[in-house]
Amino acid sequence: MKKSMMAFLLLCLALSLAACGGNEPAGENSAPVSIVTTVFPAYDFARQIAGERAEVTLLVPPGAESHSFEPTARDMIRVQECTLFFCNGGESEAWVEDLLAQQPVETLRMLDCVEALEEEEKEGMQELHEEHGEEEEGPEYDEHVWTSPVNAQRICEALCDRLCALDPEGESLYRANLERYREDLQLLDAAFRKTVDEGAHRTVVFADRFPVRYFVEEYGLEYFAAFPGCADDTEPAARTVAFLIDRVRQEKLPAVFYIEFSNEKMADVVCEDTGCRKLLFHSCHNVSAADLENGVTYLQLMWGNVSALKEALG
């Protein structure tokens, strides 16, 4: 397979560079633990639980699409040399399995920390086989597990346990950080539940991809969307847009959602036709370069979603 061959060739190059002293000079990292992460949620969870005891690296660049990410030789060196490789897992990170088959490292996958849900094709949703030209083989799982704050707690608990096993001297710090962060996540969870309980509606419409199934399942919301969360960025069929417009009208919804880095065109069409507002629901999959530079966190983005949800549920 092409990706397997690419991963193998990059790994060979990475090993060659490392052997020639191409890796970063030793001693630059004074932290006792190094954690390499693939996507933003893993990166932020690692920062929160490990604190200053770890150097945390994010591989997928700000604003990039993780589903099409290909690691560089330098990325592979970082993975080889880290204490813990903390990734998402799943089809969108197929390159991870290629890499680990060649060079095993201590790895924690977020997808393994929770009960995975299969991708769902809802009524009106543009089907996956329409994009790819054929039916996918076997079940395809929704990989956006962190969108539920309850899942985020489970992931952080698993991360803490793994760090304690790898670095026993830091256990008291990891446990204390976990307890503090768990309280923050529980407050967020409570805010979402209160918002749903007090809302006039229990249906949300995403005029976009839908990467938040774990979220709506957790809080008992009905949803309609243009594409599943793993769909490629493609133009929707006219019937898909028409269906969403009808749902907004029938439900008398005050707002429709789009996700980060969307061109927002579909949301604009729905809003123009129905008079509803468009709101950002941030999946936290990735952030902009400016947000990363400013130290934005999962909690900040999700609290923004609390405000958006209040407006969308009326």
Same domain, 206 and 177: no
Q: Band the pLDDT of 131: cuts 50, 70, 90.
A: very low
Same domain, 165 and 44: yes
Q: In what order do the strands lie in the sheet with 277-280?
A: 222-228, 203-210, 255-258, 277-280
Burial class of residue 190 (count of CB atoms within 10 Å of its CB; 0-12, 13-18, 19+) = exposed
pTM of the model: 0.88
Same domain, 254 and 148: no
Task: Report the number of distinct structural domains present in the chain.
Answer: 2
74 and 27 in contact (C-beta within 8 Å)?
A: no
* CA dist., res. 142 & res. 147, Å (int): 11
pLDDT at 14: 47
CATH number at residue 155: 3.40.50.1980
- Kindly state whether residue 190 falls inside one of the protein's structural domains: no
Write the DSSP assignment of 231-295 as a string of letters. Answer: --S-PPPHHHHHHHHHHHHHHT-SEEEE-TT---HHHHHHHHHH--EEEE----S---HHHHHTT
Q: How large is the average pLDDT for residues 128-151?
A: 73
Comparing 9 with 299, the larger pLDDT belongs to 299
Q: How large is the average pLDDT for residues 135-146?
A: 79
Same domain, 146 and 30: yes
* CA dist., res. 311 & res. 255, Å (int): 7
Q: Band the pLDDT of 122: cuts 50, 70, 90.
A: confident
Comparing 246 with 123, the larger pLDDT belongs to 246
**Could you list the residue range(s) of the whole structural domain that residue 34 is in?**
2-111+142-184
Give me the residues paired with residue 158 across strands: none
- Kindly state whether residue 193 falls inside one of the protein's structural domains: no
Nearest residue to 91 via CA among 58, 127, 119: 119
Q: Which sign, positive or negative, has the C-alpha torsion 161, 164, 170, 171?
A: positive
Say what percent of the chain tops pLDDT 90.
72
Same domain, 220 and 87: no
Same domain, 178 and 209: no
| Residue that has been written with the tokens 């060979």 in this structure | 12
pLDDT at 236: 84
* CA dist., res. 184 & res. 168, Å (int): 25
Is pLDDT of 22 > 70? no
Comparing 100 with 140, the larger pLDDT belongs to 100
| Residue that has been written with the tokens 């490292």 in this structure | 105
Same domain, 150 and 220: no
Nearest residue to 256 via CA among 239, 277, 242, 235: 277
Residue-wise pLDDT tens digits, 168-224: 999 999 999 999 999 999 999 999 999 999 999 999 999 999 999 999 999 999 999
Same domain, 148 and 296: no
Q: How large is the average pLDDT for residues 288-307?
A: 97
Same domain, 159 and 249: no
pLDDT at 18: 43
Mean pLDDT, all residues of the chain = 88
